[in-house]
Amino acid sequence: MTTDVTDTAVGIIRSSFLGGGFMAQVHSRAARAAGATLELLASSSPERAERAAHALGIARSVDDVAELLMDASDVVHICTPNATHADLALQVIASGRHVICEKPLATTLVDARALVAAADAQNIVAAVPFVYRYHPMVREARARVAAGEIGALLTIDCGYLQDWMLLPGDDDWRATSADGGPSRAFADIGSHLCDLLEFVSGERIVRLTARTRRVYDERGGHAVANEDAVAILAELASGAIGTLLISQMAAGRKNALTLELHGAHQSIRFDQERPEELWVGQRNGNRQIFRDPQTAHPGVARFSNVPAGHAQGYQDAFNSFVADVYAAIQGEQPDGLPTFADGLRAVALTEAVLLAADEERWVDTTPGTD
């Protein structure tokens, strides 16, 4: 350990960042909103780090993770390409700092398990930004399901659709297996969808089978080894069955995460692109419910950052997530904080999906503790 990391409750949180792209932008905004001081940033090159630190209003750029860990900070946000997560997170954990690591936590199950064990051993807060949990209407849906309002779960109809990889010329580091890992669409967005499904339903996916599709074998002059789209058929612990469609080539869909649960009494639907609403389906009269902290289920109002009618969205959800991580660092135990255990679960599901698709069979998704 190289510096003065506070090991108990801290006052103002000092945050540092690894990575200088879109996610670092979102993380740093959330850290600032939570009242942290933005200390250091390292990226893939010193020049990139300097530019990003300047653009994001972070006090100083450093050359690499080793230099970043020599200076004072309480928490490190890891916003780098997937394949670097495990190694960087292990270094941050070994330094005794708290950590927020982007998903996928790791590109292999072995690495994800090692990260959970390392974080547990250091007794630090280790979180993964499954931020859609922080939309107030997601918490409302979860509270209604937990209270038995929709009744026993019968079927599910879920999807996560984007179109930023639609054209053969569309490219990204996630499409290379060296940086992105063995899965692209599922690891990047399917992981969010499954996390949200299990979080809201309170049930695990116990078995699944899947079909993956890679439309273009080459993008940007390099071979592509991971998938553009996945179709999953799943069974949950209660016996509920249903489908999940995940694609980054669905023309016109930008960030269309939809979760529809059909219970014995009611159905409930959340659409990430209309995050202020929840659809409640009934045989006699459907209803559209809007976010309103005054009528929300107990415990849900705290996720509203502004009064009813003042729309809140993606960055707000991210802000609430980071605020909860920081509260946990300060000794609180916020409900529903997505931790490394949830990151591990997503990696286990990723492996199950790839295995099911590869071997064209059903795969049990609850072996061990993942």
State which residue, 192 or 291, has the beta carbon closest to ligand SOE. 192
CB of 64 to ligand SOE, least distance (A): 23
User: How many residues does this entry show for the chain?
Assistant: 370
Distances (CA, A) of 118 to 6, 88, 97, 104, 340: 18, 12, 12, 17, 10
Q: List own/partner pairs for 214-218 with CB under 8 A and 24 or more apart.
A: 215/249, 216/168, 218/168
Lay out the site mask for ligand SOE across 39-78 (x = CB under 6 A, - = otherwise): ----------------------------------------
Lay out the site mask for ligand SOE across 270-289 (x = CB under 6 A, - = otherwise): --------------------
State which residue, 255 or 330, has the beta carbon closest to ligand SOE. 255
State which residue, 161 or 236, has the beta carbon closest to ligand SOE. 161
What do you get for the CA distance between the two ends of the chain, in Å?
A: 30
CB of 189 to ligand SOE, least distance (A): 5
Lay out the site mask for ligand SOE across 176-215 (x = CB under 6 A, - = otherwise): ------------xx--x-----------------------
Structure tokens that stand for 318 in this block: 């991210």
Residue 316 interacts with ligand SOE (CB under 6 A): yes or no: no
User: Whole-angstrom Cα distance, residue 130 to residue 337?
Assistant: 9
Lay out the site mask for ligand SOE across 149-178 (x = CB under 6 A, - = otherwise): -------------x----------------
Give residue number: closest CB to ligand SOE.
188
CB of 26 to ligand SOE, least distance (A): 8
CB of 129 to ligand SOE, least distance (A): 7
CB of 192 to ligand SOE, least distance (A): 6
State which residue, 99 or 189, has the beta carbon closest to ligand SOE. 189
Q: What are phi and psi of 179, to 5 degrees?
A: -95, -35
Residue 95 interacts with ligand SOE (CB under 6 A): yes or no: no
User: Whole-angstrom Cα distance, residue 210 to residue 365?
Assistant: 12
User: How many residues bind ligand SOE, per CB under 6 A?
Assistant: 5
Site for ligand SOE in 234-263 (CB under 6 A): 255
CB of 196 to ligand SOE, least distance (A): 11
Is the separation of the CB atoms in 44 and 83 below 8 Å?
no
The amino acid that residue 284 corresponds to is N
**Site of interaction with ligand SOE (CB under 6 A):** 162, 188-189, 192, 255
